[in-house]
Amino acid sequence: MEKENSELYLRNCQIIRENERLRKKAQRLNQENQALLSELKRKLAAKNAKRKPEFEVDMGSSSVSDQIEANKRQALE
């Protein structure tokens, strides 16, 4: 019984580590998706601004490629 408990405990620890790894990956993918969505909205707004000069375009401080590169570096850590 003690051996079985030890095996189950170790398996549980593995599952917890895998869950944490997947949670972090999902978080990075969500950040990347948000950055891509912002870039798409910015481009759409810029395109619409050309048609309507009075429309203001809100430019973000970082580009999508900067955000993606930061996510890739974070994934390698």
The band of 68, judged by pLDDT with boundaries at 50, 70 and 90, is confident
Share of the chain above pLDDT 90, in %: 58
- Please state, in angstroms and rounded to a whole number, the distance separating the CA atoms of residues 66 and 74: 12
Q: In 24-34, which positions are buried (b, 16+ CB within 10 angstroms) versus exposed (e)?
A: eeeebeeebee
Tens digit of pLDDT for each residue in 55-67? 455 555 556 777 7
pLDDT at 65: 73
Region 43-71 average pLDDT:
71
- Enumerate the domain spans of the chain: 2-76
